[in-house]
Structures are given as C-alpha cells and as structure tokens.
Structure 1
Amino acid sequence: MENINSIQNFKNIPSSGSSVQNPDKAILGKDDFLKLLIAQLNYQDPLNPIQSAEFASQLAQFSSVEQLYNINSNLLKSIDASYATNRSITNALISNLIGKKVVVYGDVLKLEAGNDIEFGYELKGDASSVEIKIFDSAGNLVRSFKVGERKSGRYDFKWDGKDERGDRLRDGNYTVKVEAFDENGKPVVVNVYISGTVEGVRYKPDGAVILIGGIEFGIADIIEIKDERGNVN
C-alpha cells in the first residue's frame, strides 16, 4: 500500500487556492493533503483496502497539518496587526519632530537666501590630513578646504556659500565630500552629517521620512534632536 506521503502518483490532482502557489516547491497546504487522502481512497486496491489503523494514522496527520496551518495563519495576522499598530505610533511620534532642529547623516547641502550652511564630519580614526570638498549639482568642484590633522571624533564646520574666488554661489543643492588619510596614507572612514530644522514629515509605503530644506532623510539617519535652546534631547 502506498503511503500518503508519496505524491508521485497524484501530480495531476488540481490544487486549491490555499496551497502554495510556487510549483517548484513540493510544499503542501491542508487542502492538498486532504485531496491526497481522498485520492488514495479512490485508487486503493479493492482486494487489499487500506487498513483502519493506517487510515486513522493518516487522518491524524491531516489533523496535525490543519492545526499547523491555522496556527501559522493566526500568527501572520497577529504580526500584521502588531506592525500596523507600531507604525501608527511611530508616525505619530515622528510628527512631533516638526519645527525641531536635528542632526542627521547626509551629504547634500541646500544653499539658499544667502545663509551659511552648517555641517560636520565624524572621523572613525586619527587622520594626518583632512580635506573638505564641495560640489555643485553638476558634479563640479566649487570649493575645497584643507583642515590638516585631526583626531578621531566629530567636527562641526560652517560654509559661507562662496566659491574659491569669494563669489557667492547660486542657491541650490550642493554635495559635500570629506577625504581623510592616516599617517600611512590609508583612507580613514568618514561620516558626513548636517543640521537643520525639520520642515515636515512625508509618509511613504516603506516608512516615514523627515524633510530638511526639501531634502528627505530617513529616521535611522537622525543622530541628535535638539530643543529650542539647542540642547540635545
């Protein structure tokens, strides 16, 4: 007698909508398992019918499969509900950032209204030479600063929005790049960050982002949140 786990003779049995949709994976849903059981009864040898003990064992297997399927379905529903709740709470908390000054990882600077731009960089190791380069939206180098030797740590910097000749540059987005090398000439890891006031929050399918100068930043990019007095929360 063929065991119910042998599915080679039942490949042509249509599966229901609850079964796994990928035909390349031999994974059965509870309805497929039941179809196999019924098919085995239909095609059993009349001269050698399935024994009651074996049939009871297979029914027990089906019951176990159904219970596991139901547990999995309930677990997925619980996870979805928990995710939706956490996301709602997160979105509500993020909206409280509007109007606050934050420090975020990012290398895009927005120059406007003749204002200076504040940004900074974090060295992951000691550097014997550090150079700051600022590029326009076309990728042209418009300003560079050689700041020399620096120990590992964070350093704030302010750019007046002028080029090498001292002329004020046009308003728009600029990109800052910081290059650092140790005493052996090997590159030192540098993270660039900027500071600004959160102007708004934009909700997206993959999560909320904050807006600083019209530029989007992820919540994971936030380093510091400051109050009205500039104190770090």
Structure 2
Amino acid sequence: MERINSLENMKGVPSTGSSVQGSGKSILGKDDFLKLLITQLNYQDPLNPIQSSEFASQLAQFSSVEQLYNINSNLLRSIDASYATNRSITNALVSNLIGKSVSVYGDVLYLDPAQGASFGYELKGDAKEIEIKIYDSDGNVVRSFKLDGRKKGRYDFAWDGKDSSGRDLPAGNYNVKISALDKDGKAVAVDTYIIGLVEGVRYKPDGAVILINGVEYSIADIVEIKEGRRDGN
C-alpha cells in the first residue's frame, strides 16, 4: 500500500487549494488544518507510518497557522476598539463647536436681513478679474459684484442683503457662484465657503455633521473656526 504522506493526497480529504463543499469557505482556518492533520494520522499506512520528523514539521505548520490566526484576530479587535475610541473623541470635540462661527466649504448661504450674509472664497491662483453672483431659490441673479484682481489666497466677503436695485431681499437661503480669470483670460479655480454660526450637531452612522441655518455640513469641510460671530470684509 502506498503511504499517504501529504495533505493534498489524503483519501476523502479535499486539498488545501480547494474549498470545502457546503462550507462557503475557500481559506483554511486553524480548526480545518487540525482536522486535516488528524485525518492524515487516521489514514496512514500502519506498515509505513509517518516519520516523526515529518509529523513534527506538520505540527510546526499548525502552530504557525494558529499564531497567524491569533495575530489577525487581535489586530481586528484592536482596530475596532481604536475606531470606536476615535469616534467618541471626535463626537465630543464636535459638540464644542456649537455657538462658534465657522467657515465651511459650500455655496448655500442664509440671508438675515438684519445682519446680511457672509461668505468667502479661495483663489487657487492669481486673478485679474473676479465676479460674484448671488442667486435666489428660483435661479435668478439678484446681485452681482465685480472685484479687482487679487493674489492667490483666501478672502472673506460680506453681502448687505440688497439686490441690484438696492432693495432689501427677504430672509432665506441663496446660492453664491464665484468665477475668476487670470491675466491671460484663463479661468482660475475658486473654492467657495460660507460663514455662519453652528446651531447644532447631528450624529450619523458615517460620522457627525454640523448644522448651519438648518443645512448639514461635514466636519471635513470646515475651513476655519472663530468665536461666536460672523466677519466679512
């Protein structure tokens, strides 16, 4: 009788490269490895038993598999614990933003007729011409501004809440669009941000968001944090 001396050739036992039928697994765990080792011992030729050196080698393989399994399990538990801790810290810190004035990337600004509205923009390059347009909820341009050229950088802007005819506009949300051209007439990239007070924090499965005038903003979009006021120039 030919001696069965490899895991791949054991009678009735699938090879390590194939999946176990019905188990839904394609990777052997430490329990699978141990079962294969025991099965090999049961099927060995009694006239030509497995050598002690070979058996020791396979035990060493099992030990390595078990160590890797334990390392992986401990690592996953550590990652989960770290994620939970970081999220708790983040949630606690975000709550401290309530009542603070923040600049956050976005183009929806709220107009309070008594205070106007503040927003800002960041030029990604030097600009010779800058144009600001403010739209109402129907998409109509209610006010536009043309500014002199400015260097690359971040700038705040204050809108008095009046339309192009000098009339006071009603309270509500408006959209601001900013475009810029360089000295050669080529478009300059511009990021727009709004400035407002954080009214609250909302906790969601994918992270906390801040509320400004009822609009949600990701904390990753915060540009700047100030005390409880709104500035513009």
Fold shared by both chains (TM-score > 0.5): yes
Match of 1:85 in 2: 85
3-state DSSP of counterpart to 1:147: strand
Match of 1:151 in 2: 151
Match of 1:201 in 2: 201
Q: Shift of the alpha carbon at 1:108?
A: 1.1
Say whether the 8 Å CA contact 1:15–1:31 is kept in structure 2. no
Say whether the 8 Å CA contact 1:108–1:173 is kept in structure 2. yes
1:62-211 to structure 2, matched below 5 A, reads 62-112=62-112, 115-211=115-211
User: Is 2:7 the partner of 1:4?
Assistant: yes
Q: How big is each residue's C-alpha offset from its partner over 1:166-205, in whole Å with a ceiling of 9 and x where there is no partner?
A: 4444433222111111112222121111211110011111
Say whether the 8 Å CA contact 1:4–1:58 is kept in structure 2. no
Which deviates the most, 97-106 or 152-161? 152-161
Which deviates the most, 93-102 or 161-170? 161-170
3-state DSSP of counterpart to 2:150: coil
The residue identity in structure 1 corresponding to 2:85 is T
When residues 13 and 166 of structure 1 are mapped into structure 2, their CA distance, relative to the original with a 3 A threshold, is same
Instruction: Identify which of 13, 16, 19 aligns with 2:20.
Output: 13
Q: Shift of the alpha carbon at 1:85?
A: 1.4
The residue identity in structure 2 corresponding to 1:210 is I
Match of 1:217 in 2: 217
The unaligned stretches of length 5 or more in structure 1 are: none
Aligned residues, how many? 224
Over the aligned positions, Cα root-mean-square deviation in angstroms equals: 2.9
Say whether the 8 Å CA contact 2:5–2:50 is kept in structure 1. no
Say whether the 8 Å CA contact 1:136–1:174 is kept in structure 2. yes
Identity rate of aligned residues, in percent? 69
Q: Shift of the alpha carbon at 1:68?
A: 0.9
The unaligned stretches of length 5 or more in structure 2 are: none
Match of 2:33 in 1: 33
Say whether the 8 Å CA contact 2:102–2:198 is kept in structure 1. yes
CA distance in 2, matches of 1:162, 1:44: 92
Q: Shift of the alpha carbon at 1:229?
A: 7.5
When residues 15 and 67 of structure 1 are mapped into structure 2, their CA distance, relative to the original with a 3 A threshold, is farther
When residues 112 and 5 of structure 1 are mapped into structure 2, their CA distance, relative to the original with a 3 A threshold, is farther
CA distance in 2, matches of 1:106, 1:12: 51
Say whether the 8 Å CA contact 1:103–1:196 is kept in structure 2. yes
Say whether the 8 Å CA contact 1:111–1:174 is kept in structure 2. yes
Larger Rg over CA atoms = 2
Which deviates the most, 167-176 or 118-127? 167-176
CA distance in 1, matches of 2:128, 2:9: 69
